[in-house]
Structure formats: C-alpha cells, structure tokens
Copies of this chain bind each other. A is one copy, B any other.
Amino acid sequence: MSKQALPVVDLQAVACCPPIAARPLDADQAAVVAPMFKALGDPVRLRLMSMIASVPEICVCDLTSAFDLSGPTISHHLKVLREAGLVDSERRGTWVWYRVRAEAFRQLGALLEVPATPAAEVVV
C-alpha cells in the first residue's frame, strides 16, 4: 500500500518555519500546520500517535486491541493521522504496519520550541 498519495501535508512548507513563538505565523503557514495539531487533538489519535511513535512499527491489530472502539473507528483515526502526514502505513501480507514519519514529527515539535531569547522577554 505505502500510502502517500493522499492530500498529505507539504513537508517542505513546514521545514522552513521557525518556532511559532519566534514570530507570528502567517495564514498560509497556519493552514499547513494546524491540521497536524488538529490530528493530535483527539485523545484516541494522540494515544495512537504515541503508540506508533514509541516503537519502530506496529500493526493495526495491536492498535485496535488497545482501545474499546470498533475497527472502523480506529481505521478512521489512522487515516486522519496519515493525511496529516504524521504516520505512514505499509501492508505486508495480511497485516498493515504503521510507522511514525520522523521528519514531520520532529518538525512539529520544533514549532513549539521556545526561542533561545524568547520574544516574550526581550521587551519586558
């Protein structure tokens, strides 16, 4: 399968950006980044993301069994994470394996870094 043909986030557009606390994000940048935060804004997806990012890879069966939710629901949440560009999936035989997209994940974290000389203290 190797999903990446969907409306996935343009990583190039994110790679450029300094922390959001460094200077105001413009509308275009916000439109690219917000969906990634949004994807993490659901408790189930956040746990899924955490489970996926904590290991090299993990199969859907192991993810599904960790929740009290239907298969389709987990599948839906995984699709959201995929389309946000945060994870990648690959079918190998019977099972589908998910893996974190390290680049995107790290970039997202970088956006929340507090600048070395935080703007919020320069003027004070």
Contacts and interface: CB of A to CB of B under 8 A. Distances in A.
Tell me the dominant secondary structure on chain A's binding face: helix
A105 interface: yes
Nearest to A25: B50
Contacts of A55: 119-120, 123
Range, interface on chain A: 35 or more
Interface string A9-50: 000000000001111111100110111011111111111011
A90 interface: no
Interface of A: 20-27, 30-31, 33-35, 37-47, 49-51, 53-56, 66, 99-100, 102, 105-106, 108-109, 112-114, 118-124
21 contacts: A20-B49, A20-B54, A23-B54, A24-B66, A25-B50, A26-B47, A30-B43, A30-B44, A30-B47, A33-B46, A34-B42, A34-B43, A37-B38, A37-B41, A38-B40, A55-B120, A55-B123, A56-B122, A102-B114, A102-B120, A109-B114
